[in-house]
Structure 1
Amino acid sequence: MKKIILFAVALMGTVQAMAQDPKKPDIKFSGFVDVYYGFDFNQPFSNERPDFLFNHTRHNEVNLNLGLVNMEIDGGFYRGNIGLMVGTYAQYNLAAEQDLLKNVFEANIGLALDKERKLWIDAGIFASHIGFESAISAQNYTLTRSLLAENSPYFLSGAKLTYTPNEKWEFEGGIFNGWQRIQRLPGNTSPAFGTRVTHTPNDKLTFNWSTFIGNDFPQEDKRMRYFNNLYAQLQVSQKVGLILGFDYGIQEESSSIVAVGDERAFEQWFSPVGILRVDFNENWGMALRSEYYQDEKGVIISSFSPAGFKTTGFSINIDRKITDNILFRIEGRHLQNASPNFEKDSELVRGNTLLIGSLAITIP
């Protein structure tokens, strides 16, 4: 009860501050379009790339990965965002949601809980607090997403508190409807939780630790999932940037495979990644990526191989900035599993190679 009273007092203080500062809210519109052509050298018969990838998923066709229109409202002591999208990213990444929700990129509102606007509460659908890569490709070092980004939440729904005491620290904690879910899974009554700590000691270095704790199964087969994402981003020089990331998660095994009275073990997955970005000048740049993803028990990525998903990846991309808001990118990427796991000519092979180009426009 004491916590509820304190929260109500803070909320009343926010409303009073809003009444004292009834400024007209700033409204900004923005957009993003990412058109791509990708050629998968395994030449899948369905023209669909492996199902653990959710961006640039179509083979041998020109397609729209993401078309986005976004409106941002800043009222000083309140804020909001609503974004609508189309494209293959929305088609594949939100396939489990209701039809009316599949085109929602974000939809959230927030209130400042103090006069200095250091403490905020936001509720709705918003970008995930996990990871260093977003669904907007032009914001990332590489054209395609890293394996750890593709297989951790891009978005979450629920409510979160964000506290920014100064320019060097930011803290976030939230309660969510599940692991990348707008609606909670039928039969699941368990809330999920997440945290984020971001430390920026100077303008060249950022450290981040994000977590997720929750159950993403119906209650009769409840399996707790504990997940950590760590990364450091370093601007080595004006032209060179480096990102080092690591994901580690564990999840309880299914109760159906455990004898009565026995304790359930945990199944784990992990993924390290390193990305080096070099800008030759204002118009040309490149990035090199090395990564590994191991999910032996198929917790996140199912595998055709009995040995599980144990994949090493390498990529190189070249970027050409045509104007300040138009970016052309081309990337070559190779994935190699420890055992045959990728389909080619109705057989399983160890490797998968992609050559892809993209033209992205950011508005404004």
Structure 2
Amino acid sequence: MKHLLLPFLLALAAAAQGQTSPAPDTARTTPAQTPAAAAPNPLSYYGAVDAYYGYDFGNDGSNFRPDFLYSHNRQNEFSVNQAVVGVRYNNDRVRGAIGLHAGSYVDANYGSEDLTMRHLYEAYAGFRPFKKAWLDAGIFTSHIGFESAISKENWTLTRSLMADNSPYYEAGARFTYEPDPKLTLTALVLNGWQIIRESNENKALGTQIQWKPSAKLLLNSSTFVGIEGPTGTAQYRRYFHDFYLTYAATDRLSVAGVFDVGKQATAVYGKHDTWHTGAAFVRYKLADRWAATARAEYYYAERGVVIRGITPNPGSPDFRAGGGSLNLDYAPAPNVLLRLEGRYLRGRAPVFQRADDPTADSYGNLTSSLAISF
């Protein structure tokens, strides 16, 4: 599939670059004869590459980081977290996109998807059913969370625990309505919690409200409700809410706060396992090309619910972890970002257990990255 789609993407990108209009002959143009401005090209292309090297302190010789870290999950290895290329079309009545990606992020997040689907970063088609509204169907980025899959777009190099254990992508249909430039409302019908191929007979529902009362402040509320679990196995109803806000206090200082809470039905009728998680970000522009971000975070999951690699049982221990990170960014050009981050997490054993230390209760790493976008 990659071999078939990549030439198509490159051809579309070349077409997008080549579709330019000749400059008007201004020497022979009077005000009454001034031609109308050319319509913007509806076709655009994009791409990004995030190459990284990380080192874990006290590692057991493996190149893998803990199972519940999905992004930048390799250590003591030069790797590519994500390489993505795609094209988008939007003439303000019809829109669509197709993007392909590969890297360690894809291996970690799409391992359960079919080979024909896991390299699709996005693939959707949409149209305006009426003014100020869009209806899209296909594969698109998640409506949940402050942090995205594209590393260069995030305030920090690595993802928070809450981001790595909530959806980065989803498949289904979404309806978006913008009653006001400051307010966007979205309703979704999805196959499930971060899955492309349906795994049972149920569909999930989601909503998103984004309100931007001023140029400095953004508030987001996202919800999800669905029944998770493949057909033929135990299935549990899941409820989830994500809230975050960002605020630009000054030209140099920005802050963000994120809080998630969810519940999932247990094997005991009438009971639910609960998880809640929060993170705070402070970003400061040190100079024209330099910036620093500090992050504090915590994660609590009753009996380890929704944490990858943990199946909640009556005797399962709760998952508790928290810590912080400090990120330094240098941008030698507008589309290039060089990053270095130090991170420390601490939790109740056996959260960070290793082959050489099954009682380890802390984890630290250094990660560096060089990312470009176009």
TM-score, normalised by the number of residues in structure 2 = 0.85
- Counterpart of 2:338 in structure 1 is 328
- Counterpart of 1:178 in structure 2 is 192
**SS of aligned partner of 1:297:** helix
**SS of aligned partner of 1:100:** coil
CA shift for structure 1 position 344:
3.6
- Counterpart of 1:55 in structure 2 is 71
Aligned AA for 2:49?
Answer: V
CA shift for structure 1 position 100:
1.1
CA shift for structure 1 position 76:
2.1
Mind listing any 5+ residue stretches in structure 1 that lack a counterpart? 1-22
**SS of aligned partner of 2:212:** strand
| Alpha-carbon distance change, 24 to 230 in structure 1, aligned in 2, over 3 angstroms | closer
| Alpha-carbon distance change, 242 to 355 in structure 1, aligned in 2, over 3 angstroms | same
Residue 69 (1) aligns with residue 85 (2): yes
- Counterpart of 1:195 in structure 2 is 207
Does structure 2 conserve the Cα–Cα contact (< 8 Å) formed by 1:42 and 1:345?
Answer: no
CA shift for structure 1 position 219:
5.1
- Counterpart of 2:283 in structure 1 is 277
Q: How many residues align?
A: 330
CA shift for structure 1 position 313:
1.8
Q: How far apart, in 2, do the equivalents of 1:104 and 1:87 lie? A: 12
Aligned AA for 2:82?
Answer: L
**SS of aligned partner of 1:342:** coil
Match of 2:295 among 289, 295, 299: 289
**SS of aligned partner of 1:347:** coil
- Give the root-mean-square deviation of aligned CA atoms: 1.6
Does structure 1 conserve the Cα–Cα contact (< 8 Å) formed by 2:304 and 2:317?
Answer: no
- Counterpart of 1:238 in structure 2 is 251
Does structure 2 conserve the Cα–Cα contact (< 8 Å) formed by 1:307 and 1:339?
Answer: no
Does structure 2 conserve the Cα–Cα contact (< 8 Å) formed by 1:174 and 1:193?
Answer: yes
Residue 351 (1) aligns with residue 362 (2): yes
Q: How far apart, in 2, do the equivalents of 1:54 and 1:338 lie? A: 20
Q: How far apart, in 2, do the equivalents of 1:30 and 1:206 lie? A: 25
Q: How far apart, in 2, do the equivalents of 1:178 and 1:192 lie? A: 5
Query: 4+ runs of 1 displaced by more than 6 Å?
Result: none
Aligned AA for 1:279?
Answer: K
Match of 2:158 among 144, 156, 165: 144
Does structure 2 conserve the Cα–Cα contact (< 8 Å) formed by 1:84 and 1:103?
Answer: yes
Does structure 2 conserve the Cα–Cα contact (< 8 Å) formed by 1:303 and 1:341?
Answer: no
Q: How far apart, in 2, do the equivalents of 1:339 and 1:315 lie? A: 21
- Counterpart of 2:148 in structure 1 is 134
Map 1:248-263 to 2 at 5 A.
248-254=261-267, 258=268, 263=269
TM-score, normalised by the number of residues in structure 1 = 0.88
Q: How far apart, in 1, do the equivalents of 2:227 and 2:169 lie? A: 17
Aligned-residue identity in percent: 38
Deviation by residue 1:229-260 (Cα, 9 ceiling, x = unmatched): 00111111111111100000000002xxx3xx
Does structure 2 conserve the Cα–Cα contact (< 8 Å) formed by 1:296 and 1:307?
Answer: yes
Does structure 1 conserve the Cα–Cα contact (< 8 Å) formed by 2:86 and 2:100?
Answer: yes
Aligned AA for 1:42?
Answer: G
Match of 2:115 among 92, 99, 118: 99
CA shift for structure 1 position 298:
1.6
Mind listing any 5+ residue stretches in structure 2 that lack a counterpart? 1-38
Match of 1:34 among 47, 50, 63: 50
Does structure 2 conserve the Cα–Cα contact (< 8 Å) formed by 1:340 and 1:350?
Answer: yes
- Counterpart of 1:361 in structure 2 is 372
Does structure 1 conserve the Cα–Cα contact (< 8 Å) formed by 2:53 and 2:369?
Answer: yes
CA shift for structure 1 position 340:
3.5
Q: How far apart, in 2, do the equivalents of 1:147 and 1:179 lie? A: 17
